[in-house]
Every structure is written in structure tokens, then in C-alpha cells.
Chain A
Amino acid sequence: MRTAQEAALAKHITEWVKRGRSTNGVDVPDFSEDTDLIAAGILDSRGFIEMMLEVEQQTGNRIDLNDIDPSEFTTIKGLCRCAVSQVSPC
């Protein structure tokens, strides 16, 4: 079950990614909260780190990614789920 906190965070991060991509007037490719942002070429590793930092700043928590399959946290929905459920990530 998705919490309201997760949904709000995902909405904020979606807007954040769109804002970052549209700098310089470059078209933003279509993406959703379920899009793998790395595979789709929307974020590179630097962009991903920046997105992580933004998520951590919003939640005030450090996210432990070590035992999580990257396919889960390279989507906005997956990353926000991990971030919100800190005690037992994903």
C-alpha cells in the first residue's frame, strides 16, 4: 500500500527531475514514476546522485541501498518507497 508521504515525495521528485532536465530548453523525454531513469538516459550517475541527495534532504534520512536491487531504486516510485520505509527498506 502506497502511503501519502511516498506519493507526495514522488510528485516532488518528478517535478525536480523535469526542472533539471529542462535547463537549456532541452526537450524532456516522457517519463513516469515507473520509468527506469538510468536505462532511459534521463539521468546519468551524477544526476542520480543529485536526485538521491534531494530525496534525502526531503526525508531527512540517509538511504541504505546496499541490499536493494538497483532496478528498484532507479525509478522514482521505487526510490521514494525505499526512502520512506527506512526501517526495513523495500
Chain B
Amino acid sequence: MKRRSFLKGTLATGATAVAVNAGLLTPSTVLADWNSAAFTSKTTDEALSGIFGSSTATDSADIKLKAPAIAENGAVTPIAVDATAIDGVESIAILASKNPMPLVCEYTFAPAALGFVSTRIKMGQTMNVLAVVKAGDKLLKAEQEVKVTIGGCGG
């Protein structure tokens, strides 16, 4: 099974491969529940529409977005989003506005979980980090600029 997906991933010629490559760098084995449309979007607006069905979020001071003002190494930028001040948080998405594919990750919470997430993301250059929180039918956001001195995309 692994070998098969490996072959699929490395074949760059042939008609089928061309069709696969039409989606640029979409992984060849997309899981049913992975939102490939949103994750391969090139703009934050498109990505937000892909996950939340809307790209209009209002600024909220209740979202605490913790990100470094200057990230020395963009490949590991620590980000924490604390939305515990908001009732009924359903999901949190983290986006890096100037990454080739801005949507970094999306978390959905069951009632047992609090609206909090802490993780590390890759950032290619200086840009805004965006945390979007869905609570009920509201979309809220918080934004912060992170200066990146070494890009995180390597190569």
C-alpha cells in the first residue's frame, strides 16, 4: 500500500499524472475528511470560505493570539491561540497570510475541550498570523505581524 502511493507520488509523466498535477501540488492520496480545497487555497479569503463558508470575520479582543514579534527561525514559529474567554468555541483556524498556501491548521472542538491550541508553524517571510475562531454563527479573528529573519520553507 505504501509502495503504491509512493509510486503515484513520484510518477511525473503520463496522462493521468498530468491530470493529477492539474491541482498543482495536491497530495495524491487525499483522505476523505481532509479539506483539500481549503488547504490548497492560495489566499486567506479563499481558505476561510473553504472551511467556514465565509471570509468575513470581525476583530475580537477576546482572542488571545500569542506569537513572537520576531521569529529568528520561521520554520518553527510558536503560536498559541487562547479563545477560552469566548463561549461555545467550535473551531479555531490558524493562517499565515503570505505563505503559498495560507491555511496552516484547523481545530474543531467537542464540548469536552476548551477553545485553546498551541503549536508551531512554518513561515516563509515576514507576514501576519491570523487566528480565526468560530463560535456559534459568529466568526471572530485576531491578527499579529511576525517578522521572520530566516524563512521556513527551506530549499
Q: Do they bind each other?
A: no
Q: Chain B: residues with CB nearer than 8 A to chain A?
A: none
Q: Chain A: residues with CB nearer than 8 A to chain B?
A: none
